[in-house]
Chain A
Amino acid sequence: MKIISIDLDRCVGCRSCEQACSMYGTGGFRRESSNIRVNIYPGERFISTLTCVQCETAVCLEICPSGALARSPETNAVVLDESRCVGCKMCLMSCPFGNIHFNTEKHVIQKCNLCDGEPRCVGFCMPRALNYLEVEEIPELRRAILDSKLRRCLVVRP
């Protein structure tokens, strides 16, 4: 089971992931049609990039009254069946991370489906902040990141 891991320390806010996601999904470059969103807060010097984490107990999937959301057996992603979605927005309201978006043209929701196992956002991430990893590998990556940070802090500068 793989998910997209985001290393916010590496993210430079280039928004390539948004463009790639939008291009793959709709063939255009509109930020609103992207499922990954980069929020940049210049005042706080902070960038937050968020995409669906494909929760194990997915509230969106449980609450969907039209049966439009289902767990994909191949990628374990929560995927949308657009023909069943009526745009009632219950999932939008229940997602604690705000990772479900609304497609105002088709009047259905849109969410990350991991591009059927080959996420485009990861492929186009220049600083390698996004990684498509097995869930078990992620703690290892986190430890490596923390290690390198500690090393930097502990170096005694002359």
Chain B
Amino acid sequence: MKIAVIGNSAAALSAIEAFRKHDRTSDIVVVSREKHPAYSRVLLPYFLQGRIGRDQLFFPAGRFAGGAKVRTFLGRSVEEVDLFRKRLFLDSGEKIPFDKLLIASGSSPVKLRIPGWDDRHIHHLWTIDDAVRIGRLLKGKKELLLIGGGAISLMVAWIAVQKKMKVTVVERLPRLMPQVLDAKGAEIVEAAIRKAGVRVLTRTTIERIERRPEGRFRVHPACGRSFRADVIIVAVGVRPNVGFIDGGRVSVDQGILVDDRMQTSFPDVYAAGDVAQGPTAYGARPRVDALWSTAVEHGAVAGANIAGKETHYPGCLGGNVCEFFGLTIGSVGALEESSSAVGAERSDSHGRSYAKLFSRGGIPVGGLILGSAEDAAWLGALRSCILSKKSPPDPGAPRIAGPARAARRLGPNSAFANFLAPPRMAKPGAEFKGTP
């Protein structure tokens, strides 16, 4: 059997790994638009920060491939997919025949259209080349403008603040990180960011960017005073790379629609990762979940199914975690308070730690945390509760949410309220007060 894989990141690698568990003989061909071997996008901010070197971005040889015999076409893009004759046409002229195809072509950053805009001077942090270029640009520069108030943008802001730059973050919506945080969480983040000296402009759009002769920019927001910037980085979300796909044959909504086996509407064609629009674990309509964790899960399901081992995907959970300005921020599942979902929250008195659980009819559908690094562990327990569609079983602190045994012993008391207690509310060891 011949397998063709478009893409060479999380979903593709995870799929190849899963496929090779069941099939060690079939040919695999990987086509990637980027000329580099597989690397980790998640690490790019850490590379920019200087915490790791460029070679550490690449996966150690054999970690993912596992000795998988894979033929790669790097730096080539797919021009066309002939679904009926089962062939890929590359821009370099090659034709690649396949029996089964996995589309894991990922996504690209959304570009903004603003007068005075010149694509050469606007940067996105998305590929390894972008990171190298931005790293070079930031050297010796004073003022940075970040358009978009999401995780990538704020991580870059944090790095720039550490490099003693003057940073402005512009967000179109009324609050920061709208996809990850609720209003109160966003408030805490905004306060922490402002305290670090970053200017935050919410409800703001950029009307015009003027290029100054000395290579600097004058930025004119729709309302308010104009300001200067040396470097402009845009991070306003990503869009699936579906350009080369015949939308008439393969159903495409925002991304390529897939079922719970990662199969598209066309037989023997699978999609995974940022490009796929798949089922969710929390009862929402299929969505593009452009996250590393989802891509890995997608890939594992797709790889097994391509190898003929039927596997079903329980749905994406949208798990995300990031850290900046001394805060760890994480979320899983659905984060909307609607008529059907209620949110219950807990926070400590210092306003440093905050957690919220969203549930629908007593069944958890999502949650978010904001606080110290260890708090993120709560999300792991919550993930399994969302997947099993059970109310949180454990009345202990979230960190120990595991043993169903504890729940059996204690009976169904106010499990819900206790489950919510964010892990670091008490100092370590403080829960032990004398001999029971």
Q: With A and B bound together, what is the CA distance between A84 and B328 in angstroms? A: 20
Which partner residue on chain B sits nearest A84 by CB separation? Answer: B56
* B376 at the binding interface (Cβ < 8 Å): yes
What residues of chain A lie closer than 8 Å to B372, measured between beta carbons? 102, 104
* B380 at the binding interface (Cβ < 8 Å): yes
Distance to closest chain B CB from A145 (angstroms):
13
What residues of chain A lie closer than 8 Å to B433, measured between beta carbons? 42
Q: With A and B bound together, what is the CA distance between A101 and B397 in angstroms? A: 15
Are B376 and A89 within 8 A (Cβ)?
A: yes
Using known A-B contacts A65-B292, A70-B63, A95-B377, determine if residue A37 contacts B399 with beta carbons closer than 8 Å: yes
Which partner residue on chain A sits nearest B431 by CB separation? Answer: A40
Q: What is the number of contacts between chain A and chain B, taking CB atoms within 8 Å? A: 139
Are A66 and B400 within 8 A (Cβ)?
A: no
* B224 at the binding interface (Cβ < 8 Å): no
Are B373 and A102 within 8 A (Cβ)?
A: yes
Q: Per a CB cutoff under 8 Å, which of A13, A41, A44, A88 touches B43?
A: A88
Are A97 and B381 within 8 A (Cβ)?
A: yes
Are A65 and B42 within 8 A (Cβ)?
A: yes
What residues of chain A lie closer than 8 Å to B379, measured between beta carbons? 93
Which partner residue on chain A sits nearest B292 by CB separation? Answer: A65
Which partner residue on chain B sits nearest A59 by CB separation? Answer: B380
Which partner residue on chain A sits nearest B429 by CB separation? Answer: A31
Are A93 and B400 within 8 A (Cβ)?
A: no
* B89 at the binding interface (Cβ < 8 Å): no
Q: With A and B bound together, what is the CA distance between A104 and B328 in angstroms? A: 12
Interface size class of B (residues with CB under 8 A): 35 or more
Q: With A and B bound together, what is the CA distance between A90 and B373 in angstroms? A: 11
What residues of chain A lie closer than 8 Å to B10, measured between beta carbons? 65
Q: Which parts of B287-337 form the interface with A (CB within 8 Å)?
A: 292-293, 296, 300, 319-323, 328, 330, 332
Q: Per a CB cutoff under 8 Å, which of B46, B293, B377, B410 touches A63?
A: B293
Distance to closest chain B CB from A130 (angstroms):
15
What residues of chain A lie closer than 8 Å to B14, measured between beta carbons? 62
Distance to closest chain A CB from B316 (angstroms):
13
What residues of chain B lie closer than 8 Å to A44, measured between beta carbons? 395-396, 406, 409-410
Which partner residue on chain B sits nearest A44 by CB separation? Answer: B410
**Chain A CB within 10 Å, residue with most, of B42, B59, B330, B405:** B42
Q: With A and B bound together, what is the CA distance between A42 and B373 in angstroms? A: 26
Using known A-B contacts A89-B376, A93-B379, A97-B381, determine if residue A42 contacts B432 with beta carbons closer than 8 Å: yes
What residues of chain B lie closer than 8 Å to A87, measured between beta carbons? 323, 373
What residues of chain A lie closer than 8 Å to B398, measured between beta carbons? 98
Are B293 and A95 within 8 A (Cβ)?
A: no
Are A96 and B402 within 8 A (Cβ)?
A: yes
**Chain A CB within 10 Å, residue with most, of B400, B401, B423:** B400
Q: Per a CB cutoff under 8 Å, which of A63, A86, A92, A96 touches B292?
A: A63
Q: Per a CB cutoff under 8 Å, which of A46, A48, A92 touches B376?
A: A92
Q: With A and B bound together, what is the CA distance between A50 and B406 in angstroms? A: 13
Q: Per a CB cutoff under 8 Å, which of B59, B376, B432 touches A40?
A: B432
Are A46 and B396 within 8 A (Cβ)?
A: yes
Count of A interface residues, CB-CB < 8 Å? 37
* B179 at the binding interface (Cβ < 8 Å): no
Using known A-B contacts A93-B319, A93-B330, A100-B377, determine if residue A41 contacts B431 with beta carbons closer than 8 Å: yes
* A72 at the binding interface (Cβ < 8 Å): no
What residues of chain B lie closer than 8 Å to A100, measured between beta carbons? 377, 380
What residues of chain B lie closer than 8 Å to A86, measured between beta carbons? 43, 46, 51-52
Are A65 and B332 within 8 A (Cβ)?
A: no
Which partner residue on chain A sits nearest B387 by CB separation? Answer: A96
Distance to closest chain B CB from A149 (angstroms):
13
Q: With A and B bound together, what is the CA distance between A32 and B373 in angstroms? A: 12
* A45 at the binding interface (Cβ < 8 Å): yes
Are A94 and B383 within 8 A (Cβ)?
A: yes
Are A92 and B46 within 8 A (Cβ)?
A: no
What residues of chain B lie closer than 8 Å to A95, measured between beta carbons? 377, 380
Q: With A and B bound together, what is the CA distance between A66 and B296 in angstroms? A: 13
Are A48 and B403 within 8 A (Cβ)?
A: yes
Q: With A and B bound together, what is the CA distance between A95 and B379 in angstroms? A: 8
Distance to closest chain B CB from A65 (angstroms):
4
Which partner residue on chain A sits nearest B41 by CB separation? Answer: A65
Q: Per a CB cutoff under 8 Å, which of A32, A39, A88, A93 touches B399?
A: A39
* B40 at the binding interface (Cβ < 8 Å): yes
Q: With A and B bound together, what is the CA distance between A64 and B151 in angstroms? A: 18
What residues of chain A lie closer than 8 Å to B43, measured between beta carbons? 65-66, 86, 88
Are A89 and B321 within 8 A (Cβ)?
A: yes
For A5-28 the 0/1 string (1 means CB < 8 A from B) is: 000100001000000000000000
* B248 at the binding interface (Cβ < 8 Å): no
Instruction: List A residues at the B interface (Cβ < 8 Å).
Output: 8, 13, 31-32, 37, 39-42, 44-46, 48, 50, 62-63, 65-67, 70, 84, 86-90, 92-98, 100-102, 104
Contact sample, A vs B, 19 pairs, CB 8 Å cutoff: A41-B396, A42-B431, A46-B396, A50-B400, A66-B40, A70-B63, A88-B46, A88-B323, A90-B42, A92-B373, A92-B380, A93-B377, A94-B293, A94-B383, A96-B384, A97-B402, A98-B401, A98-B402, A98-B423
14 further contact pairs, Cβ within 8 A, besides A42-B431, A89-B373, A95-B377: A41-B396, A44-B406, A46-B406, A62-B300, A67-B60, A67-B63, A84-B56, A86-B52, A87-B323, A93-B320, A93-B330, A96-B381, A98-B377, A102-B372
